[in-house]
Amino acid sequence: MMPELDYESLQTLMHFYTSFRNKIIASQIKIENKSVLLTVIKLPVNELSRLLADSTLGNTSLSQREIDLLVYKGCIRALDELGKPHEYAITIAGIWYAESNNNEMDINRLLSYFQETKLSFKVSSKPLKDIEKNILFAMITIRNFSKTVPMDINTSLFRDSWIQIFDICNQFLHKIGVVSKENWNSFHPGNEHSISYVMRRANDLPQKTINIYQYQTPGNNKYFLDVDNQKIPAQKRLMFLCKLILGSIETNELVDSVHSFCCDVAYAKSKMVRESFEYINPDWDTILKDALRNLYYGGKDN
């Protein structure tokens, strides 16, 4: 239930809201859907704390009566823990009240936002970006087909080797007309390694691949394709991934070309980025070939 505020208290609250909003904009942070509340939801805790500390207002410029009332109503709070007992920052309740009062936020809009961003499957229907195609194709070629043999980018040696693999995979995909550019590595991550940069930002791939693409454990820099799964035949999962990447296969020659390339990379390059040779064997060569053939024949089982 929203607190009741008189006109003077509301105007004081809007000073706090405007100060906080201006700090967000000055930090070059995009206001999410024109709402500070929705923006706050997406901000890291450390960044949010900094913005709040930088946007405080003191009781020297505002009425103490209005400040005391806003504190009592839960709309602002003193920053005692930062050694600023006479400075105050807006709270989530205060942001909610300010935006509700301006008709910028209500419960229906808030629920709609969470439905669209957290529970919607819209992302799963979007086509893959070129870098997403390259990520999946590279993981297929190296056969990261379960959590026991993930794509591990925790060492500089592995990360540098994955760059080589991404390079040759992207060149092949460009050659057959699947990606638009021959060079995938046009990112400017500062001090961050290019592989770490693209993998940490592949947030849509779990939805787009119906959770075949997975993180081994969030934050441990290991990724895998859940292909070797007891519930669904591996050939069907590989066919689904190949269809996402390639779209379709129009000729038997392309089947052979893709298969030969994937096998060549698997046998020549997998030792650079993994210690186990699980899935690097003729049986999995055949499973991959069957997936490509079924895609060629229209995605129907033979």
pLDDT digit string, tens, across residues 248-272: 999 999 999 999 999 999 999 999 9
pLDDT for 7 beyond 80: yes
Percent of the chain exceeding pLDDT 70 equals 92
> Whole-structure pTM over 0.75, yes or no?
no
Cα distances from 213 to residues 144, 194, 199, in angstroms, run 10, 19, 11
Whether residues 106 and 131 share a domain: the answer is: no
Whether residues 18 and 142 share a domain: the answer is: no
Whether residues 162 and 219 share a domain: the answer is: yes
Whether residues 233 and 253 share a domain: the answer is: yes
pLDDT, residue 82, reads 57
Give the SS3 label for residue 64.
helix
Range of the structural domain that residue 68 is part of: 7-119
Whether residues 144 and 288 share a domain: the answer is: yes
Angle subtended at Cα 157 by Cα 218 and Cα 214, rounded to the nearest 5 degrees? 25
pLDDT, residue 120, reads 60
Distance, in Å, from the CA atom of 161 to the CA atom of 272, rounded to the nearest integer, reads 6
Which helix (H) or strand (E) segment holds residue 292: the answer is helix 282-296
Q: Comparing C-alpha atoms, which of 69, 75, 73 is closest to residue 90?
A: 75
Q: Comparing C-alpha atoms, which of 30, 24, 40, 28 is closest to residue 92?
A: 40
DSSP one-letter string for 96-165: HHHHHHTTS--HHHHHHHHHHHHS--TGGGSPPPHHHHHHHHHHHHHT--STTS-EE--SHHHHHHHHHH
Task: Let me know if residue 25 belongs to a domain.
Answer: yes
Whether residues 198 and 162 share a domain: the answer is: yes
pLDDT tens-place string over residues 138-167: 999 999 999 999 999 999 999 999 999 999
Provide the domain count of the chain. 2
Last residue of a domain, one of 94, 119, 144: 119
Whether residues 53 and 174 share a domain: the answer is: no
Whether residues 114 and 137 share a domain: the answer is: no
